[in-house]
């Protein structure tokens, strides 16, 4: 499965739970639309709903994780034997090749991004002030864990927008979902 996510905004090199969660929330509508429209996912609503009676290790078991009373749905999940490869284009309002920028260094910016692409690991990563909107129940995330990223390619270039905030970036994230094992549950998702 191949698809593209986009993000426009700040991507600080050092961040807290609120910053990462804000990025996660901005990516949520795109992932929700993917679940709604992709042929392999559109008929898999059972994977993102609460169903009792399913075995936890079943490939048909829900992919939801409850954290602080809120559900998070991860697309790339070890239960589905999936992993992800990312090809990232990062546009920043400065000359290409500037490893250290006004927004911070690229490697720590990527760490912030990877943390935002995965679901929170515990309640310390969910801002206590956050209350999901009805549209955010569940909140869709790309990854169950950022350890499921097996390949990353990053290209930086100049963001050619006049008077752009020097701390803003525009990201184009091409995602390639692959599987370690083909199962009936992931057959349409693996490349």
For the chain, the domains span 2-179
Q: Which two tokens stand for residue 161?
A: 């927008």
Confidence (pLDDT) at 134: 92
What's 181's DSSP letter?
S
Residue 119 CA to residue 143 CA, distance in Å, equals 6
The alpha helices in the chain, defined as continuous H runs, are 17-37, 39-42, 106-117
What pLDDT, in 10s, does the model give residues 84-132? 999 999 998 876 655 555 555 888 999 999 999 999 999 999 998 899 9
Q: Which of 163, 130, 174 is CA-nearest to residue 18?
A: 130
Per DSSP, the residues of 138-154 read: SEEEEES-GGGEEEEEE
| Per-run averaged pLDDT (10 residues), the chain, 191 residues | 96 90 97 92 78 52 86 92 95 69 74 96 91 93 96 93 88 94 66 56
Confidence (pLDDT) at 41: 86
Residue 55 CA to residue 185 CA, distance in Å, equals 14
């Amino acid at each position: 499965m191949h698809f593209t996510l986009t993000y426009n905004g700040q991507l600080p090199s050092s961040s807290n739970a609120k910053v990462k969660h804000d990025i996660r929330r901005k990516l949520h509508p795109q992932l929700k639309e993917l679940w709604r429209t992709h042929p392999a996912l559109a008929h898999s609503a059972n994977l993102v709903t609460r169903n009792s009676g399913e075995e936890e290790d079943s490939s048909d078991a829900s992919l939801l994780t409850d954290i602080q009373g809120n559900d998070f749905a991860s697309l790339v999940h070890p239960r589905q034997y999936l992993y992800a490869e990312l090809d990232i284009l990062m546009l920043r309002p400065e000359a290409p090749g500037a490893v250290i920028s006004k927004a911070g260094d690229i490697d720590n910016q990527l760490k912030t991004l990877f943390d935002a692409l995965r679901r929170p690991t515990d309640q310390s990563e969910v801002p206590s002030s956050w209350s999901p909107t009805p549209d955010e129940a569940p909140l869709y995330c790309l990854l169950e864990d950022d350890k499921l990223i097996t390949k990353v390619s990053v290209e930086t270039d100049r963001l050619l927008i006049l008077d752009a905030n020097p701390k803003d970036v525009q990201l184009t994230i091409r995602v390639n979902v692959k599987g370690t094992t083909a199962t009936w549950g992931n057959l349409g998702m693996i490349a």
